[in-house]
Structure 1
Amino acid sequence: MSTSVAMANHQHEWEDRAWSLPDLPPAVQLSGQRERLGDLADDELLEVARAARRRASWAQARELAAIAELHRRRIDAESEVDPGYRMLSAHESVTEEVAAALMLTSSAAATLVHLAERLTGPLSATGAALEAGRIDLAKARVICDTTDDLPDQATQRVEAAALEKASDQTTGQLRRRLKRIAQRLAPEVIEERKREAVRRRRLELWETPSGTADLALCDLAIEDAHAIYNKITAAAHGLKTDGDTRPLTTIRADLATRLLQGTELPDATRTLLTHTCATPAASGVAAPAGVPHETRTAAPGIGAVPTDRTSTASDRGAGGMGGVGGTGGDRCSGGAGGEVGGGYHIRSDTGGHSNGRVGAEAEVASLADIVDELLTQARGRARPADRRIAIGQAAHHIHHQLSDAREAACQGDTHTHGRPGYRPPAKMRQEVAARHTTCVFPTCNQPSHRCDLDHTVPWRPGITCRCNLAPLCRRHHRLKQRLDWQLIQIWPGLLIWVTPSGTWHIIRPDRQ
């Protein structure tokens, strides 16, 4: 099936389902393309905005329904099998599959999978309201968050109360109202939820788009949080009264920073801030010892920004990766090398040790495009039920075809391929870490120095060589162990993930 045919089928699918979209007001039907919005009156523009939001809600409901169906299939397929501690469960696996397909962080994908389960299960009425455009995704999240862990009867009553007025309330108004209702219906559950959250209290750090960073104390007991905030605010007001010209918000931030850094404060300020510091925490929960430091690169719930090192099948529509024009014969010239299916060649000097670094990187980029095209062709030839197997076989076939060229490129001064031992030498570890600065899963931001240096093909029968090593965080190392996932390193630093759905993700070296 060609990409053009897939695109045509994709368009027909939407045309066939157009009847289920929320009704459009006359102004929207008459507005035509974007350029004609200038002809509409102000109230008609607001009608267009409201109709677009209803359509967005419908699309988000369909997205969640698709995720829920995928999750159900994966869980059913593994219901009789215990994956063991060395690999991820089916639930965790589908979370990573969604993360890779939608370019989300694992935490954001987990939130989406959980929401999909809830809106197609106990909160199906909320899912129907989202699909009809009566509420948006933000309000659906509020309903889901409030009813988590509530008994079934309480969940139904909270949901009914929410949907009664949700379309006329902001998310803040809805959250406050549902919180009161849930507290009245299930006070014990709400109290236990609060205690559990306090037990998970933590300090989090993430970078912001402006080049700064946010530092947050999360899930403190509410009394402790208010006490800290009020005390710092009182000290800030004191400095303001003494003539400090900085904004109050800035003074608060600077005071907190100086306190945490141990910087000397004025006597009056220090006395005020430390007056009741010896008071035990109101939560009554002892601080755990030995808590590991955790750093985030994005705010919680925010998807990671995709990097140029990753190409995904989902980026190109239903037909998989975009095709590459031309023939392989004029892609790579000169040098002894290996032939990839269809007459494509790759030079044996393609790699990080080439004197022509720019040329070598161009060769690797060209190889990635060639592989992309070959996998697209394999997908088009396979039946839908056989695509995962066909893509995996095609990737392994490419890996086999490049074996001689890969061996020639990896031979050093000793003219041997790889090292005999399991542990790579320091120089090899440094090269792999420089090649991939993070875990090689498409959406993972875990720095490579915190990852396992994994043998893509297990050490036996695999080898310890730069063409068989890549950093994997512990979670994605366990994901790789699953039989329905495949990871193939066809060239040093050039890897292919094949998912249980038969999509693929090509990982390039970071410098590209």
Structure 2
Amino acid sequence: MSVPAEIVGHQREWADREWFPPGPQLAICLSGGKERLADLTDDELLQVAAAARRQTSWAQARELAAIAELAQRRTQAEADGDPDYRILSARESVTEEVAAALTITSNASATLLHLAENLTGPLAATGAALEAGRIDLAKARVVCDLTDQLPEPVVERVEAAALEKASTQTTGQLRRRIRRIVQRLAPEAIEERKRDAVRRRRVELWDNPSGTSDLALCDLAPEDAHAIYNKITAAAHGIGHDGDTRSLNTIRADLATHLLRGSPLPDAIRDLLANPCADADLVSRPDDVPSAPASPPGHTSLTVTMPNGASGTPSSDITRGPLPSGGSEGRHGGEGELSVLADVIDQRLTQVGGRVSSRELPGEIRRAVRWIQRGLAEAREAACRGDDEVHGRPGYRPPVALRREIEARHATCVFPSCNQPSHRCDLDHTVPWRPGVTCRCNLAPLCRRHHRLKQRPDWRLVQVWPGLLIWVTPAGAWYIVRPDRQ
């Protein structure tokens, strides 16, 4: 595709191109190194920034359209079959497939899927505005969130009114405008949506990059939330007037912490007044900090611990000739061979994927994974059994020591994008017990959601070596999960 001459050869490269439409041609105009920006005027730099945002909106619209199309295909396939309540639905399966493909959490993926279905369905005009670069993704989310669960005629009128000025408004201004319109058109729906949200009230906790944590009461009734906030604020003002020099926000946080830990309000106020600079008391002392894991986060330990205490690893090269089938090289490889095995498996699957068409990909990848699993089976069992006469443990339920070993090997659920701590997960037999065994080479932590996902016939989970697992998605993508530490 050629670039207009006035764009590349004129001194004012971006002059009068404020609404150059997004798409492949604009992508070419935006390409090039940072040195090209040095020759632009301030006004042109702002136009480049605005053009880049329009291009981003176009790309995000394409992303959402692709997600919506995938969801439609999967749900249609399920509608033609007989859904099983014991496994995840097709829509939930797509959520996890997108989460793995985009390396995002399941919650973020569910939000994207909900947005994608709305912008290609009842809010198609908003989706078109996003694709044309007239609004960005944040504004599209505002329209989607504030029209959710409203009657269809109301949604159409609200969307049309919102898009009239959306391109010239901030998200806050757009949100206020939509709320006024909805309150006028559908007050009953607004009240019902609020009641439904209050029924789902909860407490949430999450960690921050700074090493601190946030604690929040979510979806409270407005009168309750404001009453709690006003009471804490009034007490914090009183503490400040009595000589506490900390900021009002700090006093509010400290007072709320004392109250939630069980101190009555008079005692909490007295404690804060007696210790006006007690910030250090709110930070964990070294003795309270749990010891760090043996391996840093994200590090893969490369040895496999055998029942007899020896270390063993599989043979490393599976790209040439047959896979390892036991022998000393399968039990006593050198340091790092488990990581090498994961890399070589990935190379093998990449080679398979490069030789077949997209339609053949899912079946070919599954066959390749089965072949790899069978090729490593004898070496895996020999290395895992060590000097024990019998491979595995009797019974279905693993002993406590084995559970702890598996939880130490994988700190979280073994689905690629899941962060559920392993001690809250099911200890799943990768190959179902009988014919599978209760052993370190056949156990892995799976949260209940991803345990149900694994039961779907279009997903595949294989443990080719203790702690080294391969997920295969319905589309034929594969994800290799390595142990966090041994």
TM-score relative to the length of structure 1: 0.79
What is the DSSP-based 3-state SS (H/G/I as helix, E as strand, rest coil) of the residue aligned with 2:360?
helix
Q: Deviation at 1:80?
A: 2.3
2:375 paired residue among 397, 401, 408: 401
Alpha-carbon distance in structure 2 between the residues aligned to 1:143 and 1:389: 40
1:460 paired residue among 427, 434, 437: 434
Question: In the alignment, which residue of structure 2 is the partner of 1:93?
Answer: 93
Judged with a 3 Å threshold, the aligned counterparts in structure 2 of structure 1 residues 268 and 505 are, in CA distance, closer, same or farther, namely: closer
Report Cα offsets for 1:474-501 as digits up to 9, x if no partner.
0000000000000011000000000001
Question: In the alignment, which residue of structure 2 is the partner of 1:143?
Answer: 143
Alpha-carbon distance in structure 1 between the residues aligned to 2:24 and 2:188: 40
Question: In the alignment, which residue of structure 1 is the partner of 2:447?
Answer: 473
Trace 1:114-193 onto structure 2 (pairs within 5 A). 114-193=114-193
Trace 1:186-335 onto structure 2 (pairs within 5 A). 186-263=186-263, 265-266=265-266, 269=269, 307=298
Q: Runs of 5+ in structure 1 lacking a partner?
A: 1-17, 271-305, 310-333
Question: In the alignment, which residue of structure 2 is the partner of 1:284?
Answer: none
* 8 Å CA contact retained: 2:352, 2:368: yes
What is the DSSP-based 3-state SS (H/G/I as helix, E as strand, rest coil) of the residue aligned with 1:206?
strand
Trace 1:418-433 onto structure 2 (pairs within 5 A). 418-433=392-407
Q: Deviation at 1:30?
A: 8.8
Alpha-carbon distance in structure 2 between the residues aligned to 1:397 and 1:31: 44
Letter of the structure 2 residue corresponding to residue 342 of structure 1: R
* 8 Å CA contact retained: 1:339, 1:401: no
Q: Deviation at 1:263?
A: 3.1
1:365 paired residue among 339, 342, 363: 339
Q: Deviation at 1:267?
A: 6.3
Q: Deviation at 1:240?
A: 1.3
* 8 Å CA contact retained: 2:26, 2:55: no
1:494 paired residue among 462, 468, 474: 468
Alpha-carbon distance in structure 2 between the residues aligned to 1:367 and 1:58: 40
Report Cα offsets for 1:216-269 as digits up to 9, x if no partner.
000000111111111111111111111110011101111111111123554695
Letter of the structure 2 residue corresponding to residue 155 of structure 1: V
Judged with a 3 Å threshold, the aligned counterparts in structure 2 of structure 1 residues 502 and 29 are, in CA distance, closer, same or farther, namely: closer
* 8 Å CA contact retained: 1:337, 1:348: no
Letter of the structure 1 residue corresponding to residue 191 of structure 2: E
Judged with a 3 Å threshold, the aligned counterparts in structure 2 of structure 1 residues 450 and 30 are, in CA distance, closer, same or farther, namely: closer
Report Cα offsets for 1:381-422 as digits up to 9, x if no partner.
222111111101101100000111011101143232212321
Alpha-carbon distance in structure 1 between the residues aligned to 2:80 and 2:314: 50
Larger RCO: Structure 1 or Structure 2 (Cα < 8 Å, ≥ 6 residues apart)? 1
What is the DSSP-based 3-state SS (H/G/I as helix, E as strand, rest coil) of the residue aligned with 2:359?
helix
Alpha-carbon distance in structure 1 between the residues aligned to 2:31 and 2:478: 40
Question: In the alignment, which residue of structure 1 is the partner of 2:321?
Answer: 343
Alpha-carbon distance in structure 2 between the residues aligned to 1:411 and 1:479: 30
Report Cα offsets for 1:63-95 as digits up to 9, x if no partner.
000000001100111112232221000000000
Alpha-carbon distance in structure 2 between the residues aligned to 1:132 and 1:190: 30
Q: Once structures 1 and 2 are overlaid, which stretch shifts more, 32-41 or 229-238?
A: 32-41
Q: Once structures 1 and 2 are overlaid, which stretch shifts more, 399-408 or 417-426?
A: 417-426
* 8 Å CA contact retained: 1:135, 1:167: yes
Report Cα offsets for 1:426-468 as digits up to 9, x if no partner.
2222211111111000011111111111110111211111111
* 8 Å CA contact retained: 2:22, 2:51: no
Q: Deviation at 1:348?
A: 6.1
Q: Percent identity?
A: 69
Alpha-carbon distance in structure 2 between the residues aligned to 1:268 and 1:207: 25
Question: In the alignment, which residue of structure 2 is the partner of 1:274?
Answer: none
Number of aligned positions between the proteins: 429
Alpha-carbon distance in structure 1 between the residues aligned to 2:149 and 2:183: 13
What is the DSSP-based 3-state SS (H/G/I as helix, E as strand, rest coil) of the residue aligned with 2:51?
helix
Alpha-carbon distance in structure 2 between the residues aligned to 1:41 and 1:92: 49
Trace 1:18-33 onto structure 2 (pairs within 5 A). 21=23, 24=26, 29=29, 32-33=32-33
What is the DSSP-based 3-state SS (H/G/I as helix, E as strand, rest coil) of the residue aligned with 1:214?
strand
Q: Once structures 1 and 2 are overlaid, which stretch shifts more, 36-45 or 365-374?
A: 36-45
Trace 1:407-418 onto structure 2 (pairs within 5 A). 407-418=381-392
* 8 Å CA contact retained: 2:201, 2:220: yes
Q: Deviation at 1:201?
A: 0.4
Judged with a 3 Å threshold, the aligned counterparts in structure 2 of structure 1 residues 408 and 126 are, in CA distance, closer, same or farther, namely: same
Q: Deviation at 1:32?
A: 4.2
Alpha-carbon distance in structure 2 between the residues aligned to 1:89 and 1:364: 35
Q: Deviation at 1:308?
A: 6.1
What is the DSSP-based 3-state SS (H/G/I as helix, E as strand, rest coil) of the residue aligned with 1:342?
coil
Q: Deviation at 1:424?
A: 1.6
* 8 Å CA contact retained: 2:352, 2:364: yes
Letter of the structure 2 residue corresponding to residue 492 of structure 1: P
1:483 aligns with 2:457: yes
* 8 Å CA contact retained: 2:100, 2:416: yes
Letter of the structure 1 residue corresponding to residue 417 of structure 2: T
Letter of the structure 2 residue corresponding to residue 190 of structure 1: I
What is the DSSP-based 3-state SS (H/G/I as helix, E as strand, rest coil) of the residue aligned with 1:385?
coil
What is the DSSP-based 3-state SS (H/G/I as helix, E as strand, rest coil) of the residue aligned with 2:99?
helix
Alpha-carbon distance in structure 1 between the residues aligned to 2:204 and 2:389: 48
Question: In the alignment, which residue of structure 1 is the partner of 2:415?
Answer: 441
Alpha-carbon distance in structure 2 between the residues aligned to 1:144 and 1:412: 58
Alpha-carbon distance in structure 2 between the residues aligned to 1:99 and 1:89: 15
Question: In the alignment, which residue of structure 1 is the partner of 2:292?
Answer: none
When the two chains are superposed, the root-mean-square deviation of aligned CA atoms in Å is 2.6
1:510 aligns with 2:484: yes
